[in-house]
Structure 1
């Protein structure tokens, strides 16, 4: 038995699902976990070569709203938007 999908937050292998807005951007989905009730956005470059993680993260806020209303919290923000610690 080889585990192919697991929650990147709690590592559960049975409760992962993928959510998307019907009729919109098939290259952007939310990977949700029903065990820990978190989600992460997934950007599929194989479905859209022009997907851009920072711009499309902001452009897909409706997906955040919909999964948030369904009871999920974002497991982490977009790491490309994190700021480094200032050096002393």
Structure 2
């Protein structure tokens, strides 16, 4: 637990991106990893950082598009495997 807390503190004290952008990234990752606790925590933090619902929705649209792209890519791997031409 101490290691996780140290990692979390380090990630929240970066100086190259602002807190709101960091929360957009955290929310997108939370959605793609299906972490309800993360979603709850980072939605609160995003709101506190001044994020609007519209901004969060746009950030989540990126996560949705990326998940769709990954699903497409891995679906092609499945079809290749069915043909016996898979990578593994």
**Structure-2-length-normalised TM-score:** 0.30
Question: Computing the radius of gyration over CA atoms, which structure comes out larger, 1 or 2?
Answer: 2
Greater share of helix = 2
Larger RCO (CA under 8 A, 6+ residues apart): 2
Greater share of strand = 1
**Structure-1-length-normalised TM-score:** 0.30
